[in-house]
Amino acid sequence: MVEIASDKPLTLAEKVWRDHVVVRGEDKDGQRSPDLLYIDLHLVHEVTSPQAFEGLRLAGRPVRRPDLTIATEDHNTPTLEIDKPIADPVSRIQVDTLRANCEEFGIRLHSLGDANQGIVHVVGPQLGLTQPGMTVVCGDSHTSTHGAFGSLAMGIGTSEVEHVLATQTLSLKPFKTMAVTVNGTLQPGVSSKDIILAVIAKIGTGGGQGYVLEYRGSAIEQLSMEARMTICNMSIEAGARAGMVGPDETTFEYVKGRPHAPTGEDWDTAVDYWRSLRTEDGAEFDAEVTIDADTLEPFVTWGTNPGQGVGLNESVPRPTDFDDPVDRESAERALQYMGLEPGTPMKDIRVDTVFLGSCTNSRLEDLRKAAEIIKGRQKDPQVRMIVVPGSAQVRLEAEAEGLDRVFKDFGAEWRFAGCSMCLGMNPDQLAPGERCASTSNRNFEGRQGKGGLTHLVSPVVAAATAIRGTLSAPSDVLQPEPTPA
């Protein structure tokens, strides 16, 4: 991706990159300095922005393009009693600071209580602000979500947030490209979350470092936009800066009619451009990985990084299964933290809590799929289940379909929108030693609360697990148990 020659077939990532170069980097001593890229959309939230706004204020700089910037409150916000002031004074100050900064710098903000408040990566696509071929950034690593539209979308740090606020550009070193080809058809009960967990288990948490991943192949083409967002969302867990899917009819259909989608003639012009972005035949990737969708089974993590996962029908691995001494040591440590015995079937592991939510799996389709499994069934009485829609809008849409009733009848808690139990920043946290089947993205030590134990799963696995109380596949609850011969 260092040289983008016009006569060579290009990948999607290279095309989007090419169309955003403001100033090309210089070649010197066989290396190229970063290109300066224009940023089409900057998403802002309360956690990674206060120090950036403070930097602007100290330097007397304005926000260059408030009209390409949008903010929402998500990480700190409670998911209960949202009409009351935020109880934690430190969280409240951070949210109030965002409100004051947005007011001062003229930035559109969707606050708690607003229909478009919610997780920043749910809100952008929902409003139609995320469209193919854009550059999208946010001070949040899961910005990779927006790559599902064929955008180049990246998480950035607070210094870069300030840089984008001030200049609407970002200095970016050229990336390498990796094709992640997923061919075949997913079996019932297997979902896009399982694809990405399998990809991460295959290439490792550092396998994507320096790369933009492009997910392609017949299995990806068959996926809905929301399923594609789940995959792109977790690209960062493979170490990649971004993940993308070539825009197609599914993409256009999803964008069409949304509040900020182009209309009339503009729509046709836009779609023509979007169609032109697909990776050309003969374009070369710097690396390639292949996954077979036909044989994929529901996946679950056993350890403390997202690469430590296995098929749900497998057992907790033994550290000696790993040849690499670093992996072996990491497995030992993870098993100790997770309190798991090697050789235990994953399906024998009991959980205390099931969390359905996060920027990975909190969209309407995720809620529908989980509701389909639990409808008319009983929750394991020992298990608590928390369902947190990704945005206030998703919550309203789910309620219009009666999904809230399904969850409530099942005995699950139906919450207001936010990041919730994905990270320990708001009241929704695991207690020490509490074990959770979670549809979120990170099983790091203490991620969901100090001492909490996380198993990453898909929404349908989460639902089946809430019914049986142990990690379970949808097939475990949909089919009668086979009787021993």
User: CB atoms < 10 A from the CB of 116, how many?
Assistant: 19
Nearest distance, CB of residue 10 and another protein, angstroms: 19
The answer to whether 151 touches 136, Cβ cutoff 8 Å, is: yes
Question: What DSSP element (H or E) covers 71?
Answer: strand 69-72
Residues 348-387 contacting another protein, CB under 8 A: none
User: CB atoms < 10 A from the CB of 4, how many?
Assistant: 16
Q: Is 146 in the site for another protein (CB under 8 A)?
A: no
The answer to whether 422 touches 359, Cβ cutoff 8 Å, is: yes
Q: Among 12, 15, 17, 48, which residue sits at the site for another protein (rule: CB under 8 A)? A: 48
Q: Is 194 in the site for another protein (CB under 8 A)?
A: no
Stretch that binds another protein, among 20-28, 213-221, 348-356, 465-473 (CB under 8 A): 20-28
Nearest distance, CB of residue 107 and another protein, angstroms: 8
Rounded-to-integer distance, Cα 38 and Cα 340, Å: 48
Nearest distance, CB of residue 464 and another protein, angstroms: 28
Nearest distance, CB of residue 397 and another protein, angstroms: 14
Q: Is 99 in the site for another protein (CB under 8 A)?
A: no
Of 93 and 478, CB closest to another protein: 93
Nearest distance, CB of residue 287 and another protein, angstroms: 15
Stretch that binds another protein, among 10-18, 168-176, 224-232, 346-354 (CB under 8 A): 168-176
Query: 69-72 and 41-44: which strand pairing?
Result: parallel
Of 157 and 345, CB closest to another protein: 157
Stretch that binds another protein, among 51-59, 345-353, 407-415, 455-463 (CB under 8 A): 51-59
CA atoms within 13 A on the CB side of 117: 21
Rounded-to-integer distance, Cα 296 and Cα 198, Å: 8
Phi then psi dihedrals of residue 371, to 5 deg: -65, -35
Phi then psi dihedrals of residue 466, to 5 deg: -65, -30
Nearest distance, CB of residue 352 and another protein, angstroms: 20
Stretch that binds another protein, among 260-268, 289-297, 338-346, 456-464 (CB under 8 A): 260-268
Q: Is 58 in the site for another protein (CB under 8 A)?
A: no
Nearest distance, CB of residue 412 and another protein, angstroms: 24
Q: Is 474 exposed, middle or buried (0-12, 13-18, 19+ CB in 10 A)?
A: buried
CA atoms within 13 A on the CB side of 422: 27
User: CB atoms < 10 A from the CB of 332, how many?
Assistant: 15
Over the window 440 to 479, marking each residue x when it contacts another protein by CB under 8 A and - when it does not, the resulting string is --x-xxxx--x-----------------------------
The SS3 assignment for 265 reads helix
Residues 282-321 contacting another protein, CB under 8 A: 305
Q: Among 75, 193, 216, 228, which residue sits at the site for another protein (rule: CB under 8 A)? A: 75
User: CB atoms < 10 A from the CB of 66, how many?
Assistant: 15
Nearest distance, CB of residue 393 and another protein, angstroms: 9
Q: Among 82, 111, 171, 397, which residue sits at the site for another protein (rule: CB under 8 A)? A: 171
Rounded-to-integer distance, Cα 180 and Cα 216, Å: 6
Nearest distance, CB of residue 379 and another protein, angstroms: 28
Nearest distance, CB of residue 214 and another protein, angstroms: 17
- Outline where 355-400 has alpha helix (H): 364-374, 392-400
Helix, strand, coil in percent for the chain, rounding step 5: 35, 20, 45
Phi then psi dihedrals of residue 334, to 5 deg: -65, -45
Q: With CB under 8 A as the rule, give the number of residues binding another protein.
A: 91
Q: Is 104 in the site for another protein (CB under 8 A)?
A: no
Q: Is 431 exposed, middle or buried (0-12, 13-18, 19+ CB in 10 A)?
A: exposed
Query: 41-44 and 135-138: which strand pairing?
Result: parallel
Q: Among 13, 63, 102, 129, which residue sits at the site for another protein (rule: CB under 8 A)? A: 129
The answer to whether 240 touches 144, Cβ cutoff 8 Å, is: yes
Q: Among 99, 256, 260, 405, which residue sits at the site for another protein (rule: CB under 8 A)? A: 260
Tokens coding 348: 């024998």
Residues 415-444 contacting another protein, CB under 8 A: 423-425, 442, 444
Nearest distance, CB of residue 247 and another protein, angstroms: 15
Tokens coding 424: 């320990």
Tokens coding 460: 């349908």
Q: Among 99, 173, 275, 405, which residue sits at the site for another protein (rule: CB under 8 A)? A: 173
Which residue's entry shows tokens 């193919």? 132
Q: Among 125, 132, 155, 357, which residue sits at the site for another protein (rule: CB under 8 A)? A: 155
Stretch that binds another protein, among 257-265, 278-286, 312-320, 402-410 (CB under 8 A): 257-265
Q: Is 336 in the site for another protein (CB under 8 A)?
A: no
Q: Is 404 in the site for another protein (CB under 8 A)?
A: no
Residues 220-239 contacting another protein, CB under 8 A: 236-237, 239
Of 284 and 329, CB closest to another protein: 329
Rounded-to-integer distance, Cα 456 and Cα 244, Å: 22
Q: Is 159 in the site for another protein (CB under 8 A)?
A: yes
